[in-house]
Amino acid sequence: MLLLVSLGGRYDPLTAPADFSLKLRPGTITALLGANGAGKSSTLMCVAGHVDLQAGKILFGEQDISQLPATERVRAGIAISPEGRRLFKDLSVQDNLRVGGLIHPSSAYAKDRDRVLDLFPRLGERMASLAGNLSGGEQQMLAIGRALMTRPKLIMIDELSLGLMPKIIDQCYTALKLLRDEGMTVLLVEQNTERALAVADDVCVLESGRTVWKGSALDARNDPSLTAAYLGLH
């Protein structure tokens, strides 16, 4: 799996970045970093098909998916856990997972569900609970789990740690590393820069819709000018 994103056009915080390119290596975690309003979330939504592509193209493997509707991108192997989680709060944990797995035969549900519960055992204790009654951490686990029910090749996660307790953040990041070790590709938007740099293989930094830095996470951690200017680390 290979994702190539090349976006262009006039920058608008509500649409895709104006001058942006990104190549994801299979089986790696790429952190997409930058200040609020830089275009990170819009990029994820554009790749997922929820924001119209103004210019440029998106290649997934050998396929140009630029004009595919969001549902077909899911079938192609792209899943998103969006900012705000966007769960079906009046449905149970189990039913939220079922919705995520609707693109596959119902006979596959139990196996896919059990995989999610292996990653997030707490959800197994809350299967009958309404999603709206879960804690913030449990909702984040469910949002990621629902995305995983589609069996993605690429999972995109927006603001993984926002508002969560450190223990829950640890569990979510442990799950990400396990997914990477199994060969899944992860594109992560995260305000917790230190945590993102600790787990990522590659880093792309955005500012006002433009790429200002790309490289390995190791190089990013060792570049004082980068961390001070764009990542809020000193």
CATH number at residue 88: 3.40.50.300
Whether residue 124 is found in the same domain as residue 68: no
Whether residue 100 is found in the same domain as residue 1: no
Residue with tokens 């001058």: 19
Tell me how far apart the alpha carbons of residues 137 and 117 are, in angstroms, rounded to a whole number: 15
Per-residue pLDDT at 7:
65
Per-residue pLDDT at 11:
45
**Does a structural domain hold residue 20?**
yes
Whether residue 135 is found in the same domain as residue 90: yes
**Does a structural domain hold residue 39?**
no
Whether residue 182 is found in the same domain as residue 203: no
**Does a structural domain hold residue 36?**
no
Tell me how far apart the alpha carbons of residues 82 and 140 are, in angstroms, rounded to a whole number: 10
Per-residue pLDDT at 217:
92
Whether residue 225 is found in the same domain as residue 173: no
- Taken in order 8, 10, 16, 21, is the CA torsion positive or negative? positive
Q: What is the pLDDT along the chain (234 residues), one digit of tens a residue?
A: 556 666 654 445 555 566 678 889 999 999 999 888 888 888 898 899 988 777 788 899 888 998 999 999 999 999 999 876 789 888 999 999 999 988 898 888 999 999 999 999 999 999 999 999 999 999 999 999 999 999 999 999 998 888 888 999 999 999 999 999 999 999 999 888 889 999 999 999 988 878 888 999 999 888 877 877 666 654
Pairing of strands 3-8, 19-24: antiparallel
- The DSSP annotation for 37-60 comes to TSSHHHHHHHHHTSS---SEEEEE
**Does a structural domain hold residue 103?**
yes
Per-residue pLDDT at 2:
58
> Where is the domain boundary, 35, 59, 76?
76
Per-residue pLDDT at 16:
56
**Does a structural domain hold residue 176?**
yes
**Does a structural domain hold residue 166?**
yes
Number of domains in the chain: 3
Domain region containing 195: 190-234
Answer left, alpha or beta for residue 56, where phi above 0 means left and psi between -120 and 50 means alpha: left
Whether residue 136 is found in the same domain as residue 52: no
Whether residue 177 is found in the same domain as residue 204: no
Contact present, 11 and 209 (Cβ < 8 Å): yes
Sheet arrangement for strand 78-81: 63-64, 56-60, 3-8, 19-24, 210-216, 202-207, 29-33, 185-189, 154-158, 78-81
